[in-house]
Amino acid sequence: MKVFDVVRLILTTSLTDREISAAAGVSKTTVGRYRRLLNDRKLTWGALSDLGPEEMRRRLNRPASGGSPKQVPDLSVLHEQLQAKGMTLQLLWEDYRREHPHDALSYSHLAAKLKQYRETLPTVMRQHHAPGERVFVDYSGLRPYYLDPTTHEKVHVELFVGVLGASSLLFATCSPTQQVPDFLKAHVAMFDYFGGVPEVLVPDNLKSAVIVPGRKPTLQRSYADLARHYGVAVLPTRPSRPRDKASVEVGVKFAQQRILARLRHQHFYSLDELNAAVAKLLDEANDRPMVKDGLSRRQRFEQLERATLRPLPPAPYVFAEWLVVPTVPKDYHVAVAGHFYSVPHALIGKRVEVRLTDDTIEVRHEGKVVAHHTRSTMTGGHTTARTHQPEAHRAQAERSIEGMLAWAKEAGPHVLRFVQQQFDRPRPFLGLPACDSLRSLAKVHGTTPVDEAARAAIQLGSPKITTLKRLLDNRTAAAKAPPPPRASNARGARYYAHQGEGAPC
């Protein structure tokens, strides 16, 4: 998915190569190479968005041509080690070469790479955020609460805060926990409040957003899914770099002062009551004039940022869990929460991923949706799509009362009535042989003639397969019968014409 995300961010955002590198977890050089490639080929996101990740990678990359890749050490570690007194790059290079005798960089190559890395190290600077570019999100350290209506005990909840970088427009809402479902639901509410989507999400390194922090962070799968749904990049703050999240820290402090502090003497008996009060104070806080220019956050947003936000997608993001199925079994059904769902039989032995919502099951292979089912709560049950079955399995599945009725419904109304009468007996399965014969006749004569014959058989009060076959045979015989022979003594128009010429006046 990294190539897919790099291409998406290059073609749909104005982010720099360095920012895309951090968001997608690849090197800046790789991002630059893809940007040049896309520009040279004049490719657009509309032409590439339907490709799966593997197909996109194959289209944009040349096949591997061999060669031995070099082992590049972690340059950040080298930089830290060189701070020690008496340490030199020559000593570190010699240690590194002993560990990788066959694929180590030369000393000059390593020195050049370290120099390039050091040039990227930031200095303390004033941050400027372009309108519509970034939104910073975090949780407040101070936790609000409501009272349990039965026990009157405090139920502490979490205060989620989002701040737009350019206008400082604030969003705040209370969530039951910081867990992934609540975290993502708060993001959906935030985007709805802003009425649009910025280019970049900047979260802190909490587990609901980032599984592995660092220079190339690994995002939580559902959080990455939300980012793709809204078309945004995710650039988590660097660990131990508080300046990266200065905007949201100020926003959290402001929310604590202007919202939480004003709620301290009020009592609420549900999360909804608490959030209604938070929403009211949030609007008041955003309408309050700021000291430096006298404009409120709302006014700055309307003037600077609203028009630069991207439109919301047609539908809001729905939280989904992900399940990886390493190998599709031979019965082409994957197990999800105790129920079995079919996938196309051609995927037997392949790796698929399952996206679970409360109502649906979506199966993906190489990034493309290959199956979609309504979620079932029947433990041990099976949900099978007819199109996923091999031809032999499909035929066997259709040789059932349900399968026959489904076929008859497509064949015609009289065929359906005829089939229903075959099963209208104490032991319905005894009607299957007649239905098998009916399907065979439909293959020979076509469904329209069979439907007409079924209508005639029902009108005769004899909905039997023998009656229907006799009607079809009579129809076929009538169609093949030759025209009646012409009588030998018949006189045509020519004869009477000649007779008229020789007749007396």
Q: Which CATH number fits domain 134-308: 3.30.420.10, 3.40.630.10, 3.40.309.10, 3.30.43.10?
A: 3.30.420.10
pLDDT at 124: 42
Q: Which tokens in the block code for residue 362?
A: 């979506």
Question: For residue 505, what pLDDT is reported?
Answer: 41
Q: What letter would DSSP give residue 65?
A: -
Q: For residues 12 and 40, is the Cβ–Cβ distance under 8 A?
A: no
Q: Write down the pLDDT at residue 391.
A: 66
Q: pLDDT digit of tens for each residue in the chain (505 aa)?
A: 678 888 888 888 888 888 888 888 888 888 888 888 888 888 888 888 777 777 777 777 765 555 567 788 888 778 777 766 567 888 888 888 888 888 888 888 888 888 888 777 654 444 456 788 889 999 988 899 999 999 989 999 999 999 998 888 999 999 999 999 999 999 999 999 999 999 999 998 888 888 887 778 888 888 998 999 999 999 888 665 555 556 667 878 888 888 888 888 889 999 999 999 999 999 999 998 877 778 899 998 998 889 999 999 999 998 888 889 999 998 889 898 889 999 998 888 999 999 888 888 999 988 888 998 988 888 888 888 878 877 656 655 556 677 788 888 888 999 899 888 888 888 877 777 888 888 888 888 888 988 998 998 888 888 888 888 888 888 877 766 666 665 555 555 565 555 555 444 4
Identify which of 161, 164, 197 has the alpha carbon closest to the alpha carbon of residue 298. Answer: 164
Q: What is the pLDDT of residue 153?
A: 92
Which residues neighbour 58 within 8 Å (Cβ) at sequence distance 6 or greater? none
Is this model's pTM higher than 0.75 or not? no
List the chain domain ranges: 1-62, 71-120, 134-308, 321-389, 399-479
Q: How far apart are CA 376 and CA 360, in angstroms?
A: 8
How far is residue 23's CA from residue 232's CA, in Å, rounded to a whole number?
10
CA–CA gap between residue 213 and residue 232 (Å, rounded)? 19
pLDDT of residue 154: 92
Euclidean distance between the first and the last CA atom of the chain, given in angstroms as a whole number: 105
Name the region of 236 (left: φ>0; alpha: ψ -120 to 50; beta: rest).
beta
Q: Tell me, what DSSP letter sits at residue 244?
A: G
